[in-house]
Structure 1
């Protein structure tokens, strides 16, 4: 038996994590997949989004946010703690800093900087601007960049970011409170959009404006009369291109209020903002991940095709369905490091028991392995819901999820999937 699996068994497997059969969901022990809580109350812990590095290169330290309340929108005065869990030392909590720029769905963009074994980064608010903190967990030194970040290049040299005040004004819960949208009276401002940030110098440069993208029609129809924002940015594995969702909401001419629903298109471009490509899909695009430098996997509805997960070739409309008839619900997908045939994904709460199910899917064989069913109480809905957002360690052997199923509010859980990958 491996040291990792023995440690899980000593921790009490799913029993220690508070899993039970019935309303709370199927115990992970029923599937022989070890799981344990690595954070505990009274404070609440979560990492948030699924597409960022949560584990350090040794897979010993697991990043997390910490907060003392739930079930409401953050206020400008709300501060969260930023820290990491030492899963080889009794799941010891190590505090690293604080953040005043955060949300329930994506946290404060806390993540390890790729290529570094000791530096982490997160967003914060300082005076009248959003900033980011680069903290060395060994030396304890912290450096501040004069810009928030969204996604870090895999080579660790730069970030791509959006206007978080703009996002908050048009899609509350995905931006940050505390600062107003400077362009709240403009549908597609020239000075707001996507920025590139040098992680060494802090230099920030606008590379694609909302005004410019609003001038590009959709299927021959003008969209510059709508209210635009950018959200969900990711840089390709070779650090050469990025993808982003351009979203817009129409204004009701009778009331002047924005329509509750929005439309979406996916763009890709080089990391300097050039070589822009608009993927010719429908205006329904949800979660996505780069599969390799030329392909993006996502939940979408291609033209004349049903909803589902598809692999889309960059700069084209070429799509290939994945998980047909098996991965039938939208989820937060990534590829397991070192095991590119395996997809890690999850589901939203089902309508009967409100169970969330993270799972592994083997692309070549169509094999699906559920990692447990985790109950999400009814109060975890809307902006402050707690999606599991599964994330894999760098060697692919461990998975973390956020979940409120144990009765202690949202906490971090660690799942040993090495037995699945080796089976």
Structure 2
């Protein structure tokens, strides 16, 4: 079996970001990456990171710089279809926008009016409100104020659809519309969208609608919508985390729905209770619902990897019952969506595990274990970043926690596939600096893959 190989071999810290994008071009010989010298603090409004790609020999080609980045999700750099072009976010004329680069000429070829989160092969990009995302504690960019900070559910903030080549654009869905969809819009505050993701056919989007609650918590709704803005659906509501499209009609997500906490938050009693009493009630429910597990961690048995069909009022099945029992960062293989790459959060010893999961056989294959480092960020240097975060968020998470989780020291593996399914790339800090690594999974998949007539339907009902 192959071991992980270092892909970024130059000086500095390298990272890609999230687990929801293919990092390699179609030819498989260029890997998008970002580079920065100091990763000990969250991104500073005045500090850029380098944009470029890594060749097979490990050489990094710098094509530009960007202010629009964070460590968990990078700058949303991604290839445009099968071309040599890629798109990346940046700050231009005091706005979050996108730039297009040609990896052959190594030049910027266009500057677009709007930022990009995901893009179709034919050039339709979909962007989010990154100033709002940053203020509410999400994966936004530091340096620009939330223009709608006084509006709990703004009608001018949402999903912007724009075309890379024709520059056509349209707001296809607003925060206000979603906050009023199948729920009381006055229930929460600071409504926002995050984690926007295209299905394989690129005709639907899944995203998370989140809003703050008066007990200091947050509710998440898993939403889907057609790429033209029609057909909005809410698939689930509760404590929901990382997800990916299993196929064109199913979304796999880690979370918990219908718990005592969720029922309390939806009740008339909750709406009438004073904030202090609500917080005490939530803490009591947590003590009753959570049970200790080995190593001192606490696990709620109501949490699972859930599989939802994209239909009205779907009933979830279990994706990997008894096989994957914790949250992680999943990505299904573009070449064979029977396979999923994923990781774990650090265990009690600071170890993250990288693993493959085969849906048809319900088997997990651990690939490697990578240790986090003990270093902590400089709080004083982190303050320019934290100034733009909502006070309620800092009260819930503390400046120290926010500084660490938004710095380069907090390095989730965030594995992502090569388009042909032969290799995965991941970020790691186990060797003391942040680097991009690759893992050849060809032997595992070719050995373990079943023929289609041997595969069984393995949905487990809740």
Fold conserved (TM > 0.5)?
yes
Q: Over aligned residue pairs, what C-alpha RMSD do you find?
A: 1.7
Q: Is the 8 A contact 2:222 2:237 kept in 1?
A: no
What residue in structure 1 maps to residue 176 of structure 2?
211
Q: How does 1:317-328 map to 2 (within 5 A)?
A: 317-328=314-325
What residue in structure 2 maps to residue 23 of structure 1?
none
Q: Is the 8 A contact 1:311 1:319 kept in 2?
A: yes
Residue 242 of structure 1 pairs with residue 200 of structure 2: no
Question: What displacement does 1:311 show?
Answer: 1.8
Q: Secondary structure at the match of 1:167?
A: helix
Q: Secondary structure at the match of 1:264?
A: strand
- Distance in structure 2 (CA, Å) of the matches to 1:416 and 1:269: 35
Q: Which is helix-richer, 1 or 2?
A: 2
Residue 199 of structure 1 pairs with residue 164 of structure 2: yes
What residue in structure 2 maps to residue 264 of structure 1?
220
Q: 1:390 aligns with which of 389, 409, 415?
A: 415
Question: What displacement does 1:226 show?
Answer: 1.7
Structure 1 runs (4+) greater than 3 angstroms displaced: 221-225, 302-305
What residue in structure 1 maps to residue 275 of structure 2?
none
Question: What displacement does 1:63 show?
Answer: 0.9
1:299-336 superposed Cα distances (whole Å, 9 cap, x missing partner): 12243782111221002313221111111111111112
1:268-310 superposed Cα distances (whole Å, 9 cap, x missing partner): 111121111111x231111111122211111122437821112
Runs (5+) with no aligned partner, structure 2: 260-300, 377-403, 448-462
Q: Are residues 33 and 192 of structure 1, via their aligned partners in 2, closer, same or farther at CA, if it must alter by over 3 Å? A: same
Question: What displacement does 1:39 show?
Answer: 1.5
Question: What displacement does 1:134 show?
Answer: 0.9
1:26-50 superposed Cα distances (whole Å, 9 cap, x missing partner): xxxxxx3222112246410010001
Q: Is the 8 A contact 1:310 1:322 kept in 2?
A: yes
Question: What displacement does 1:394 show?
Answer: 1.2
- Distance in structure 2 (CA, Å) of the matches to 1:183 and 1:322: 38
- Distance in structure 1 (CA, Å) of the matches to 2:187 and 2:127: 22
1:342-400 superposed Cα distances (whole Å, 9 cap, x missing partner): 1111101111x211111001112222111110001133742221100011111111111
1:55-86 superposed Cα distances (whole Å, 9 cap, x missing partner): 11111111110001112121211111011111
The normalised TM-score by structure 2 is 0.78
Q: Is the 8 A contact 1:151 1:161 kept in 2?
A: yes
Runs (5+) with no aligned partner, structure 1: 1-31, 253-258
What residue in structure 2 maps to residue 359 of structure 1?
355
Residue 171 of structure 1 pairs with residue 194 of structure 2: no
- Distance in structure 1 (CA, Å) of the matches to 2:201 and 2:421: 20
Question: What displacement does 1:217 show?
Answer: 4.3
Q: How does 1:3-82 map to 2 (within 5 A)?
A: 32-40=1-9, 42-82=11-51
Q: 2:111 aligns with which of 109, 124, 144?
A: 144
What residue in structure 2 maps to residue 369 of structure 1?
365
Q: Secondary structure at the match of 1:360?
A: strand
Q: 1:411 aligns with which of 423, 435, 438?
A: 435
